[in-house]
Structure 1
Amino acid sequence: MVVFPNAKINIGLNIIGKRPDGFHNISSCFYPIGWTDALEVVPAEELVCHVAGIDVPGAEGDNLCLKAYRLLAKDYPLPTVALHLLKALPIGAGLGGGSADATFTLMALNQQFDLKLSEAQLADYARQLGSDCAFFVKNEPVYCYQKGDQFEPIALSLAGKWIVVVNPGIHISTAEAYAGIIAKEPAQDLRQSLIAPIEEWRYNVVNDFEGPLSAKYPAIGQIKNRLYESGALYASMTGSGSTVYGIFDQETDLMNSFVGLKQWHGVLK
């Protein structure tokens, strides 16, 4: 079985306060995009995960796809499998690629071995792997809150808009991103801000990580400015960085504007 774990972007990201468990409460809109990894699950004599494409740092035991398998295997008698991951989504880039890989592993195992897990059950397993993992079960736009693991529907559609995603190759850890943050309530509820026309989002829809990280890594701000200069309706850093995206009314070719940087473009659904 082959599946294609996709990335997501954050449209707005407010860091509201620190929790007793050490995490932070946030508010954000998660929106899926079509940039993907590829993951194949095949029966095998021993459990293994082969990674090609972008190198995934860390010990084998930290591999989220293997963690997803082992999490399900505690409750279900799964056959051993080989996981073949073709990694295209940048690491530590704010796109949720690792979270998508983990959740798509859960869903592929559920389908391939007919475990009959519901979406709610899959989401419960996914939350044990990472705060944003559960998003990828339904994989549709949501308003998220608490640790980023609780969702409610949001009436937001960017279907037909063109998106350009640019990654400057800067790996930013979660700890580094939060080091420059002073948590606070946003001036306006994000859901209210997103009701406004997209051209007005640049004034009120803010990623709290972006200011401190742009000051430390000027390339982030430079990419954002270039996207606006090229006609973006809205541009922002996503997640805890360092990827920046721009949303356009129509197809836009900016390949020559970001030579040497990893980028992707496509139509939003």
Structure 2
Amino acid sequence: MEKTYKIKSYSKINLGLKVLNLRPDNFHNINSIFIEVDLCDILQFVPSDSFKLKCVNKNIPLDNSNTIVQAYKILNEKFDFRKHYEIIVDKNIPVGGGMGGGSSNAAATLKALNKLNNLKLTNKILMDIALKIGSDVPFFIEGGLKFVYGRGEKIKPHMFSLIDAIYILLVFPKFSIDTSWAYKNIKKKLQYKNYSTKFPPLDSNVKWKLFENDFEDIVGSTYPEIFEIKNILYENGALYSGLSGSGSTMFGVYNDKIALKKTKQLFNHYNTLIVSPIQRK
């Protein structure tokens, strides 16, 4: 009898995020550095007579709007699976937090089904399929530390020799951000072209404060508490502090574990978590 298969669906933070312009296909061109981190959902694939989706601990949609459903249907339509699975999601990545939970779930589903059905699809093919589901999904096929541009489909490895020496404090505000709302409200910022769209190199002399996320002003105008969180992180030893994606998760990058743990205690009115980057070869 086939055993239950488990896969970890990791999250990401954005070290800087520049929204450049609106494309003819109504997506936006971006520049960003994605860092995969070890906060993850767990997806279990239980052999079943038909496809089912279940979430054990959060109220998430289980219909066609769910990226897991979309990923399953795309592959099933293409390969007409003879065996099916009930997918059970243990959800830990915040919904509407800008950490790519839905995108990661879709990528994890594609990878799991590729393995379970012995489809032998290359990562390049999986990434092409992933883009049909969402702009951030291709990144999660390989994960790691990447420079991401275009609408999210152009991905290059990005070196950072000190990646194993940093720690990340996540701070989760009590509100969530709808990505479509954030992009609709960023149009005004796109009218101004007099700012840099490049990021400083990630070397031993990295200039952390040159990284910027264009969504911070958008989200902060409605939820100014993100600026309060940012200031507390900076005042307590963060090398960098910023918004992940379009929010609402805020994070601080540290190279001092003692300062990191002390800062975490200052946010006892928020949910917080210390995470580390996922390093991949």
Common fold: TM-score over 0.5: yes
Q: Which of 184, 190, 196 is the matching residue for 1:188?
A: 196
Distance, in Å, in 2 between the alignment partners of 1:213 and 1:31 is 21
Output the CA distance in 1 between the equivalents of 2:65 and 2:197.
Answer: 36
| Structure 1 residue 232 corresponds to structure 2 residue 238 | yes
Secondary structure of the 1:38 match is: strand
Alignment match of 1:84 (pick from 74, 85, 88): 88
User: In structure 1, what residue type is equivalent to 2:45?
Assistant: V
Residue 216 of structure 2: which of 197, 200, 210 is its match?
210
Find the residue that maps to 2:79 and give its secondary structure: coil
Q: Deviations over 1:124-169 (max 9, x none)?
A: 1111110010001111211111112211222224222111011102
* Match 2:208 to one of 201, 204, 227: 201
Mapping of residues 141-152 of structure 1, within 5 Å? 141-152=145-156
Root-mean-square deviation (CA, aligned residues, Å) is 1.7
Matches of 2:79 and 2:269 in 1, distance apart? 46
Instruction: Return the match for 1:262 from 233, 249, 271.
Output: 271
Give the gaps of 5 or more residues in structure 1. none
> Which of 231, 251, 254 in structure 2 is aligned with 1:248?
254
Partner residue of 1:28? 32
What secondary structure does 1:107 align onto?
A: helix
Q: 1:63 to 1:189 in 2, by over 3 A?
A: closer
SS of aligned partner of 1:12:
strand
d(CA) in 2 for partners of 1:70, 1:19: 28
**Paired residues of 1:16 and 1:186 also in contact (CA < 8 A):** no
1:69-97 per-residue CA deviation (whole Å, 9 max, x = no partner) reads 11101111322210000111101111001
Specify the alignment match of 1:93 in structure 2: 97
**CA distance 1:196–1:148, shift in 2 (3 Å):** farther
The SS at the match of 2:164 is coil
In 1: Cα distance, 2:14 partner to 2:198 partner: 12
Q: Using the alignment, how far apart are the partners of 1:260 and 1:43 within structure 2?
A: 42
Deviation of 1:191 (Å): 4.0
- Whether the 8 Å CA contact 1:65–1:102 is kept in 2: the answer is yes
**Percent identical:** 32
Deviation of 1:193 (Å): 5.2
Report what 2:173 is aligned to.
168
Opposite residue 171 of structure 2, the aligned amino acid is V
Whether contact under 8 Å (2:20, 2:197) holds in the other structure is no
State whether residues 18 and 197 of structure 2, in contact with CA within 8 Å, keep that contact through their aligned partners in structure 1.
no
3-state SS in 1 of match to 2:50 = coil
Q: What are the residue-to-residue correspondences of 1:20-59 with 2, within 5 Å? A: 20-56=24-60, 58=61
Q: Scaled by the length of structure 1, what TM-score is found? A: 0.93
Opposite residue 274 of structure 2, the aligned amino acid is H
What's the TM-score, normalizing by structure 2? 0.89
1:223 offset after TM fit, Å?
1.1
Unaligned runs of 5+ in 2: none
Question: Is the 8 Å Cα contact of residues 14 and 206 (structure 1) preserved in structure 2?
Answer: yes
Q: How many residues align?
A: 266
Q: Which residue identity lines up with residue 208 of structure 2 in the other structure? A: W
